């Protein structure tokens, strides 16, 4: 039922705008977020007492599959950041006061959140962030900057990672809930990207931002561990989204191969095309089954750190390969902006980078297997 209702909504109200939003580099975020909230799609795995649907991680995966299938990745990334990363953080770590202030309106789409971890000099190496927070009486004073922040330019609040003990490395990181209208906070610039063009991505600055000690999010100096725990579900979400993007590209390539004629017959009749399609379909299904099995392990609380790394690594790189091959089947038309395959090609390239690069996933997998 969830899949059916989401698909109907997305195909009717979102997909028709994908080209326009991609060209203009934005979407009407307030309107769209509120519409998602009205339909209950922002709190699928949030307890009912806060206005959520009370579902489990399967709901999030169904949500990710349907969002990944509409070829509107910028909007999907923006709403997905809020619904599948920010709100679950609030559910698991927030105080009751914080949940009432941010989670409840967030589920309704009345507030938009973002996660501020990555910095100009700290990407994969989270422990090397330089943003810091100094305790001053009953306040913290925050200074630093963040980059590549999804929703950074449109958010009402930031879940911010900052060093509260600069001598302890990763063991000195804490999380804070910072309102974006707090004096000293600013959006340095909104970033122009290859893909995800309709979604907002920004660089943020914090200059003597004073916040009350009550905005500490979770335990002091436990931020790094909290981030790492949440990376697991984020990576599975990204992996299933990559599978659905690849499936969309495969479907488009099959349709085009049946219609496009060269040398007096559809290119689907040529063995070289059929073999490409066969390889693409096999890769998509292999990735899907790997991800589905790991989701099962995660839900049943089986150890699956290795498998999560494999999902993120294989599914995102697979999507790049399959979508690139699909564009090749389209030939010169695939290179034209009027054909949707080019947007899939651009949008999928972030997969092996965001949420932990392929290089990091290989390191995690190798280290865990050899320990």
DSSP letters, 139-190, are EEEEEEEEEEEETTTT-SEEEEEEES-TTSGGGGEEEEEEETTSTTEEEEEE
Where helices occur in 212-357 by DSSP H, the ranges are 223-259, 271-299, 305-330, 341-348
Helix axes 73-80, 341-348, angle to 10 degrees: 40
- Look at residue 123 in the predicted model and tell me its pLDDT: 85
Nearest in space to 310 (alpha carbons), one of 326, 323, 327, 298: 298
Which pLDDT score, from 0 to 100, does residue 302 have? 96
Q: What is the pLDDT of residue 269?
A: 98
Q: Left (φ > 0), alpha (ψ -120 to 50) or beta: where does 305 sit?
A: alpha
Buried b (16+ CB within 10 A) or exposed e, 309-336: bbbbbbbbbbbbebbbbbbebbeeebee
Q: Where are the domains of the chain?
A: 2-111, 115-220, 224-370
Can you read off the two tokens belonging to residue 159?
């879940």
- The two structure tokens encoding residue 108: 């309704």
Burial tier of 24 (Cβ tally within 10 Å: 0-12, 13-18, 19+)? exposed
Q: Which two tokens stand for residue 273?
A: 């095309």
| Cβ neighbours for 195, distance < 8 A, ≥ 6 positions apart | 73, 74, 343, 346, 347, 348, 349, 350
**Which residues have C-beta within 8 Å of that of residue 145, sequence separation ≥ 6?**
119, 120, 131, 188, 203, 204, 205, 206
Q: Which of 288, 322, 97, 74 is nearest to 194 (CA)?
A: 74
CATH class given for the domain over 2-111: mainly alpha
What pLDDT does residue 366 have? 98
Q: What is the pLDDT of residue 124?
A: 86
Query: Same topology for domains 2-111 and 224-370, yes or no?
Result: no
Give me the pLDDT at residue 230, please: 87
Instruction: Please give the pLDDT value at position 229.
Output: 86
pTM summary value: 0.94
Q: Cα separation of 354 and 265, whole Å?
A: 42
Q: What is the DSSP letter of 15?
A: G
Beta strands in 151-307 (DSSP E): 157-163, 173-179, 185-190, 201-212, 216-217, 261-262, 265-266
CATH fold of the domain at 224-370: Butyryl-CoA Dehydrogenase, subunit A; domain 3 (1.20.140)
Q: Please tell me the distance from the alpha carbon of residue 64 to that of residue 68, in angstroms, as a whole number.
A: 6
Which residues are known catalytic residues?
Answer: 234
Determine the pLDDT at residue 362.
Answer: 98
Q: Determine the 3-state secondary structure of 11 from DSSP.
A: helix
CA 156, chain centre distance (Å): 18
Cα–Cα distance for residue pair 186/206, rounded to 1 Å: 7
pLDDT of residue 361: 97
- Specify the pLDDT at position 93: 95
Spatial distance between the Cα atoms of 150 and 116, rounded to a whole number of angstroms: 9
What are 94's two structure tokens?
């927030």
- What is 115-220's CATH number, 3.40.640.10, 2.40.110.10, 1.20.810.10, 3.40.1190.20? 2.40.110.10
- In the predicted model, residues of the chain with pLDDT beneath 70 are none
User: What is the pLDDT at residue 102?
Assistant: 98
Rounded Cα distance, 259 and 265, in Å: 9
């Amino acid at each position: 039922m969830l899949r059916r209702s989401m698909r109907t909504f997305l195909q009717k109200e979102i997909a028709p705008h994908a080209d326009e939003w991609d060209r203009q580099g934005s979407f009407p975020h307030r309107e769209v977020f509120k519409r998602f909230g009205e339909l209950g799609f922002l709190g699928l795995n949030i307890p009912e007492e806060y206005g959520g649907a009370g579902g489990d991680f399967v709901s999030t995966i169904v949500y990710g599959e349907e969002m990944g299938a509409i070829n509107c990745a910028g909007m999907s990334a923006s709403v997905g950041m809020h619904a599948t990363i920010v709100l679950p953080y609030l559910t698991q770590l927030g105080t009751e006061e914080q949940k009432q202030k941010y989670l409840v309106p967030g589920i309704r789409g009345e507030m938009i959140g973002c996660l501020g971890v990555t910095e100009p000099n700290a990407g994969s190496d989270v422990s090397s962030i330089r943003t810091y927070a100094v305790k001053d009486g009953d306040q913290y004073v925050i200074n630093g900057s963040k980059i590549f922040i999804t929703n950074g330019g449109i958010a009402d609040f930031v879940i911010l990672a900052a060093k509260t003990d600069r001598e302890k490395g990763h063991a000195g990181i804490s999380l804070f809930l910072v309102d974006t209208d707090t004096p000293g906070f600013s959006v340095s610039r909104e970033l122009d990207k290859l893909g995800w063009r309709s979604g907002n991505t920004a660089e943020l600055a914090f200059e003597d931002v004073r916040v009350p000690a009550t905005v500490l999010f979770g335990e002091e100096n436990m931020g790094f561990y909290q981030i790492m725990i949440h990376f697991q579900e984020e990576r599975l979400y990204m992996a299933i989204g990559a599978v659905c993007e690849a499936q969309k590209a495969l479907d488009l390539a099959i349709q085009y191969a049946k219609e496009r004629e060269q040398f007096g017959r559809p290119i689907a009749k040529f063995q070289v095309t059929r073999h490409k399609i066969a390889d693409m379909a096999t890769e998509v299904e292999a990735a899907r089954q790997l991800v589905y099995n790991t989701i099962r392990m995660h839900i049943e609380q089986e150890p699956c750190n290795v498998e999560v790394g494999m999902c993120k690594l294989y599914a995102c790189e697979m999507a790049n390969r399959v979508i690139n091959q699909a564009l090749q089947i389209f030939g010169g038309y695939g290179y034209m902006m009027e054909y949707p395959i080019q947007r899939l090609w651009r949008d999928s390239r972030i997969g092996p980078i965001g949420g932990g690069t392929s290089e990091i996933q290989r390191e995690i997998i190798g280290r865990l297997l050899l320990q």
